[in-house]
Structure 1
Amino acid sequence: MIRALLRSLLICLLLPGAALAVDPPKVTIESVTSPGGITAWLWRDETVPVISIQAAARGGSRLDPKPGVSRLMNALTGTTAGNYDPVGFVRQFESLSASLAINRTPAYDQISIRMIRDKRDDSADLIALSLTQRVIPDAAILQGRTTLKRQLQADQRQPGVRAEQTLAALFLGDQVPMITTPLLPRVDDITRDDMMAVSRDRLTRANLSVAVAGAISPAELAPLLDRLFGKLPPGEVAPPLPTFPERPQPGFYHVPVPGAPQSSLVTVLPGLDRRDADFWPAAILEHVLGGATFTSRLKIELREKRGMVYSTGSALRYGGLRPTWVTTAAMAPGRVAEAIAITKRLWAELRDGGITQDELDAARDYYLGASIVSLTSTGAMADFVGRLQLDGLPPTYYDDRRALLAGLTLERVNAAAKRLIDPDALVIIAAGETTPDLPPSLPLPPGF
């Protein structure tokens, strides 16, 4: 499968305009249920004898018992499981060529697993031990607190981080205090019991989704699922997301970062779910506005024509607590006011004038090619399948999206621009030095 994807990619690279003409191999994603009732989606690929698994436990750090517990857990090293000492624990993983990583995000805890096919049973036993009998030594807690404090202190001096923190606080309101509460004064209040409670309460079968890619058959995967996850507690389904404010007050927000050599500018509109009928029209518009590496309108106007930014980009962000459509730029503090005016104009032009047929064709070809080049490892394939599960999309989506992209018309995309883009609703956040030409700032969220 991976070799076939690479062959298709090579054709796309060698033949101009070939992205629409090349049909990559069909993708089959199977549903597999273990004897114990654990279900996984499997993308089978026998190219290399590796199995990659992306599991997710819905809930995430919004459900932390205290602010910052998940951040501290992400910063820990030197943990172990069962009767292993930390060094012996690492060596056992190395001897099996296996890996386990857990990343706790606001919406879910992501469990990334990789193992060799012939060592899958021993690897699964070690990983199951890690998930159900974790040990956090005192030394690991002290090290984690020190690391997290340094990260948080550094964050206060980073305009990009401060802008993103403000964005989160504005769009999430006071509904998820575990995410938006300032953490630095609270790190020492987090205990081992808090962290163990997160593992116990969130890593449960009730909230688990599992995606698998690689060299394993459905018959082999079914018992492996029970071996990996069968000892997790049943748990209860995580509560639904809270009701967020409809949208923040539009306008300009300035976050002072004294002494910062550059400023960060973020403009934001509400985004949309991947299941929205206008998601792919919006993705085309986003690519034209700021996503294209060299040809986006933001890149041309802010960097190529004026040389006023160090970097610029845009993104449709989804899969977290609340979808957003974001543009970003980094520049000298004295150029922020000018960059705001240009960025607002580009948003308005995108809504009122839409895009051209050439821009549509280029963006569509990019996405069709990217769907091939981004899936050339079992890890990437498992991550892709896992995202389908989290976003509520069907297992046929890999093939479906090619048809969705191919069917887009200029009229459809430009109609979506008028529906989705409202320049007067923009939330504009600048973080960095205060300069006299900046507009007055709206009140910042508490803690800023």
Structure 2
Amino acid sequence: MKRFIIAAAALIMLTLPALAAVEVQDIETPGGIKAWLVEEHSIPFTALEIRFRGGTAMDRPGKRGEVNLMMATLEEGAGDLDAQGFANARDDLAASYSFDAYMDSVTISARFLTENRDQAVALLRAALMQPRFDQDAVDRVRGQVMSILRSQATDPGDIASETFYAQTFGDHPYGSNDNGTPESVAGLTREDMFAAKDRVMTRDRLYVGAVGDITAEELSNLLDDLLGELPANGPDLPAQVEPTLPGDLTVVPFQTPQSVVLFGQKGITRDDPDFIPAYIANEILGGHGESRLMDEVREKRGLTYGIGAYLVAFDHSELVMGQFSSGNASVAEAIDVVKDEWAKFAATGLTQDELDMAKTYLTGAYALRFDGNGPIARILVGMQMDGLSKDYMKTRNDMVNAVTLDQVNAAIKRIYDPKQLTFVVVGQPEGLQTN
């Protein structure tokens, strides 16, 4: 334990100066686009992160998977360039773009050299404003999605996740696979791709972070040119949904020597005053390193190779979740241990030593996230979407250190509820009784 604390303290000393040097500028373009910028002119390179709130949860009824398929096809040709022509133009510029779809957001990540900035941004603009969605490209990417769906249908971890979320969120978009189903994906058309893009890429849900060799004036001009012609407003976001977590257990039979277990209960919103105390609490219960669950389930009893718990703060719901795998003969015992530890945690909370250990780890590890222009740009966008201030990077560790034992234990007592703890098991568990 002492070696762990000393190592974490050393990380703080080595990384804090770089983090302290990060200065975030808050800019607004003439066209009304807001962005956060960190100038770093030592390397002629810029990372640009663009995110739109909404994500795959914006799929229309009967069109599940359309946003995912659209984002995966955006780079398959634009303007007068087909898929191969676009790829060649991108490579000639030594630029990179990634287009990703998540449940609550879609993201465009761009990386380009200063000497090629104008051409790289022009090519990205073509992808966003003049996507081709050629039928052969749509069909090719559709085939890739179908392959993913077939793989997920035979993966016990994916089966556990789909089952858990379907039971927890029902007909809400969170309750289904955002890749879609084989039937829904097969029915998607080229026209659906254009419709999906216009639904999720709107200026009222836009967040931007930029880090690198670019000034505020240059970024302002770039953003108005790149994004200024997007639709101003999008359709309504999905409604809030209360998770259904009755504290029961579901077994999905599956031929495998190890059962996969997913478990969870209702969580806490990111803007809740108790979020940081809850984050610290989770670190001790099921986070990195020497957590209680790892100690009890793995170290003392050897029932799994690994187990973890984490806070899930969706835009429209929230959970505390965990997962592990265990042999079919031992999974029932492992679940009992998790239940016992969850109940003990809710009843008695942390000790001062545990709180001090968690603070040391969390404050030391935080600075390691800022290891390049791209990661910092992503963090800037995430901070904006979470409603955090631009100085959060500098004040976050102080907020962690300010949490008292009474505060964290009060948060635990308020949030953790063993009666809600719900399990999904995929495998052939022995001696496991469902509720």
Matched, 1:440 2:434: yes
SS at match of 2:242: coil
Match in the other structure for 1:190: 188
SS at match of 1:241: coil
Match in the other structure for 2:91: 94
> CA–CA distance in 2 between the matches of 1:165 and 1:383?
27
Matched, 1:121 2:115: no
Equivalent residues of 1:302, 1:308 under 8 A apart: yes
Matched, 1:141 2:135: no
Moved more, 336-345 or 33-42: 33-42
Equivalent residues of 2:286, 2:292 under 8 A apart: yes
> CA–CA distance in 2 between the matches of 1:229 and 1:100?
15
> CA–CA distance in 2 between the matches of 1:75 and 1:82?
17
- 1:186-225 to structure 2, matched below 5 A, reads 186-225=184-223
Gaps of 5+ in 2: 1-5
Shift of 1:282: 0.9
Match in the other structure for 2:265: 269
Distance 1:20 1:91, change over 3 A: closer
Shift of 1:247: 3.5
**Residue 408 of structure 1, aligned match among 400, 403, 407:** 403
Shift of 1:255: 2.2
Number of residues of Structure 1 aligned to a counterpart in Structure 2: 427
Matched, 1:159 2:156: yes
Match in the other structure for 2:231: 233
Distance 1:378 1:133, change over 3 A: same
SS at match of 2:251: strand
SS at match of 1:81: coil
> CA–CA distance in 2 between the matches of 1:409 and 1:363?
12
Shift of 1:187: 2.2
> CA–CA distance in 2 between the matches of 1:74 and 1:334?
43
Equivalent residues of 1:291, 1:314 under 8 A apart: yes
Match in the other structure for 1:84: 81
Detail structure 1 runs of 4+ shifted over 4 Å in the superposition: 11-14, 16-24, 74-78
Amino acid at match of 2:271: R
Distance 1:156 1:260, change over 3 A: farther
Shift of 1:35: 2.0
> CA–CA distance in 1 between the matches of 2:64 and 2:79?
28
Shift of 1:413: 1.1
Distance 1:297 1:19, change over 3 A: farther
Amino acid at match of 2:304: V
- 1:21-420 to structure 2, matched below 5 A, reads 24-25=19-20, 27-65=22-60, 66-76=63-73, 79-176=76-173, 179=176, 183-234=181-232, 236-245=233-242, 247-256=244-253, 258-293=254-289, 295-420=290-415
Shift of 1:284: 1.2
> CA–CA distance in 2 between the matches of 1:406 and 1:304?
29
Distance 1:284 1:22, change over 3 A: farther
Any idea what the Cα deviations from partners look like across 1:86-113, whole Å, max 9, x if unmatched? 2221111112121221111121111111
Equivalent residues of 2:345, 2:412 under 8 A apart: yes
| RMSD between aligned residues | 2.5
SS at match of 2:329: helix
Gaps of 5+ in 1: 1-10, 442-448
Any idea what the Cα deviations from partners look like across 1:31-79, whole Å, max 9, x if unmatched? 1111222111112223422211211112221222311213333554871
Scaled by the length of structure 2, the TM-score of the pair is 0.91
Distance 1:108 1:24, change over 3 A: closer
Any idea what the Cα deviations from partners look like across 1:235-271, whole Å, max 9, x if unmatched? x244133131354322112222x21232111221212
Distance 1:154 1:321, change over 3 A: farther
> CA–CA distance in 1 between the matches of 2:74 and 2:33?
30
Distance 1:339 1:148, change over 3 A: same
SS at match of 1:228: helix
Amino acid at match of 1:317: V
Equivalent residues of 1:209, 1:386 under 8 A apart: yes
Shift of 1:379: 0.6
Shift of 1:80: 0.5
Distance 1:260 1:47, change over 3 A: farther
Any idea what the Cα deviations from partners look like across 1:105-138, whole Å, max 9, x if unmatched? 1211111111112221111111011101111223
Shift of 1:161: 0.9
Any idea what the Cα deviations from partners look like across 1:399-427, whole Å, max 9, x if unmatched? 22122111111121112111111111111
SS at match of 1:46: coil
